[in-house]
Amino acid sequence: MTRAERLLVLIQKLRCYRYPVTAAVLAESLGVSKRTLYRDIAQLQHQGARIEGSAGVGYMLREGFILPPLMFSSDEIEALVLGLQWVAQNADEMLGQAAVDVQAKVRAVLPERMAEVLDLPALKLGPSEHQVTSCHLSALRDAIRHQFVVELAYHDQQGRSSSRRIWPMAIAFFDASRVLVAWCELRQDFRHFRTDRIDSLCVHEERYPRHRQTLLHTWKAQMGITD
């Protein structure tokens, strides 16, 4: 294992702890001496990692540190590129462009020895068997982000139309459809709306009263979903 790879593993291990972990435990898990571990901690702190603690007490990684792309492994870059390809092809225009921009930013900071993994990826995304409309996705994503109430004109599978005021929480991307998860004020319960059946929508600058995270936890429990 190279030092760069070891630093990557060390950061990942620190992220798993919500309390200070001693240098002895970290050093043993990495198969290095405590002296080497102290040097690695110092190097990560120099690179901007918010690692707090000291020898004999333990170390803890605070939130906010973004791992430099130069520390990505080849497998991680391939996973990143494949995921970005999928988003560029299957999301709305704004999110697709964001995926293209992310790839360009990663490419700009990668060392040349790793750039080929991104420039000439071994993994390619094939064409989809389903053409799924991305209409309304950008507006819905914005409403979810800000926890805004949305009013929908919607038709069901039988073509019956209805008007709903909803609290949007998440969008599920299936192969043949995109499904909005929301709390429906009319039904006073969670409902799922296929985005291709939304005829029109209006995003109100009115925040719904319950926190989105709380709603999602309740929805997952109701659906029997475990993470």
Helix crossing, 93-109 with 112-119: angle to 10°? Answer: 150
Contacts of 106 by beta carbon, 8 Å cutoff, 6+ apart: 69, 72, 77, 80, 118
Whole-model pTM?
Answer: 0.68
For residue range 59-102, what is the model confidence (pLDDT) as tens digits? 998 876 555 545 677 788 889 989 999 998 888 989 999 998 88
Q: What fold characterizes domain 137-223?
A: SH3 type barrels. (2.30.30)
Q: Which residues, in sequence order, are bridge partners of residue 173?
A: 178
For residue range 123-169, what is the model confidence (pLDDT) as tens digits? 888 877 777 777 899 999 999 999 999 999 999 999 999 999 999 99
Domain boundaries, given as residue ranges, for the chain: 3-67, 70-119, 137-223
Q: Are 78 and 123 contacting, i.e. CB atoms less than 8 angstroms apart?
A: yes
CATH number for region 3-67:
1.10.10.10
Does 137-223 match 3-67 at the fold level? no
**How many C-beta neighbours within 10 Å does residue 14 have?**
21
